[in-house]
Structure formats: structure tokens, C-alpha cells
Amino acid sequence: MTDTYEKPDVMVDVVPLMLRGERLCTVLAMRAKEPFMGRPALLGGYVHLPEDSSLGATARRVLLEKAGIQGLYVEQLSTFSGPDRDPRGWSVSVAYFSIVPEEAIDDVLMRPDLQIVPVEEAVGLPFDHDLIISAAVARVRGKGAYSDIPARFLPAEFSLGELHRTYEAVLAERIDESAFRRKLMERDFVERIEGLTKTVEGAKRPSQVYRLRPGLSVFDRRF
């Protein structure tokens, strides 16, 4: 069975997401090879057998090799397939998105082969990368509304004000502050770091510092 049919190419494409100036952005790389050499596209690569232990491992390797970043939150999105999505022939691309936290953005900025683009402006890309980016944004704005995903754009320690602004930026909509705090406190979603405060830039009064409670990844419903 296996040997009477040719195997498709299997690759991984990663949509790195970050926040720049309250806008949700992705990272594109100039393609160094054909097809579409010289054009910006998502970070992608073939699965390496046998050393990749899973396609998630492939995604993390691609992030490290093509963008020099590691330790990111990575989540599988969906799988795209067909004879026409890649001019090289029938292919399978397993798409992932990953969250680039604030403190890792500088590493990306240093690389001349990478560009940071607001997700709304990342269109006209080769392959079916427009579609993959739409899927990533839909996931983060849909599921993100009631998960801890937006918190991953921040460093491990943050104030509730920063977290509030981050949710607003990711979802691109206003969220009532008191409802936000209420929800966050009801579910044990974040935990306060006793005795630790910091003054956010621009503010006068220092704010309590919180961190994501380890363990759970999704809490409840929408704010």
C-alpha cells in the first residue's frame, strides 16, 4: 500500500505573532530559494526524519533556524494540502502559530532577512500563506478571547493594566476594565506576586505585579 503510491512532501509553516505599537503583527522571511525566491513568505521547512520528534518539534526548529528565536509558545493551527498549493507538486503543510513575547522582538529586528508586518497588511503572499495567516488571526482573536494566549505576548511578570491593554490590542476591540479585572480574579487565571510592584512607564502609582498561574491554559468564556 505504502509503496504503490508516491508520498507527498510534508512541511511545516509557522506564523509568528507579536504586538508592535498596539497592532498584531507577523514575521515574514525573504525566500532564499525557488520557488518564489526573494519574495516574503511565512517561515517554513520540511520535516527532518528521523531527528524531528514530531511536527511540533519541526515548527520549533524552523523558528530557531529561520528567525533565531526559541522557547516560544507554539500551537498547531490546521493542515493544508493539495496538488496546487506548491508549484513543486502535491504537498502537505501543517501550519502552526507562535507567540513572540515582547522581550524577544529585538532578536527579530536584528535580522535583515526578516520583516515585521501588521497582519492586515500581510497579503499577496506566495503559496496559500494568506489563508494560513487568516487562520492564525482567527484562532487568536476567537479562542484568544477566552484563553490565556494574549498573556503570552507579555513577559512572565506583568501588571493587570498591561494585561488589559494586551487583550485589547490582540482582539482589536475595547474591553471594559472593571469586567476584565472581575473575570480575571474569579477564575484563578493569574496570581499576584505578593509584595512585588512596579511603576509602568508613564504612570505615577505603581501597580501590583502578576504572573500566569502555571498549569491551565484556557479558562472560561469571553470578557
Residues 140 and 136: their CA atoms lie apart, in Å, by 6
For DNA, the binding residues in 164-203 under the rule CB under 7 A are 174-179, 181-183, 197, 199-200, 202-203
DSSP per-residue codes, 150-218? GGGGS-SEEEHHHHHHHHHHHHTS---HHHHHHHHHHTT-EEEEEEEEE--TT-SS-EEEEEEPSS--B
- The order of strands in the sheet holding 157-159 is 157-159, 207-212, 190-198
Q: Does 90 engage in binding with a second copy (CB under 8 A)?
A: yes
Q: Which is nearer to a second copy, 205 or 221 (CB)?
A: 221
For a second copy, the binding residues in 187-216 under the rule CB under 8 A are none
Question: What residue 134 binds from a second copy, DNA, none (CB within 5 to 8 A, per partner kind)?
Answer: none
- Give the SS3 label for residue 59: helix
Q: Which is nearer to DNA, 69 or 163 (CB)?
A: 163
Q: Are 15 and 136 in contact (CB under 8 A)?
A: yes
Look up residue 50 and give its DSSP letter: T
Q: Binding string to a second copy for residues 32 to 61, with x set by CB under 8 A, is what?
A: -x------------xxxxx--xxxx-----
Residue type, 193: I
Size of the site for DNA (CB under 7 A): 26
Minimum CB–partner distance for residue 104 and DNA (Å): 23
Residues 142 and 136: their CA atoms lie apart, in Å, by 10
With residue 134 as reference, give the H or E element that holds it: helix 129-142
Q: Which is nearer to DNA, 64 or 172 (CB)?
A: 172
Minimum CB–partner distance for residue 9 and a second copy (Å): 6
Q: Does 145 engage in binding with DNA (CB under 7 A)?
A: no
Q: Which is nearer to DNA, 86 or 148 (CB)?
A: 148
Which residue stretch of 65-73, 79-87, 104-112, 215-223 sits at the interface with DNA (rule: CB under 7 A)? 215-223
Cα dist. 151→22, 48, 69 in Å? 14, 32, 18
Contact residues toward a second copy (CB under 8 A) are: 1-2, 5-10, 33, 46-50, 53-56, 76, 78-79, 81-83, 88, 90, 92, 94, 221-222
Contact residues toward DNA (CB under 7 A) are: 159-162, 174-179, 181-183, 197, 199-200, 202-208, 221-223
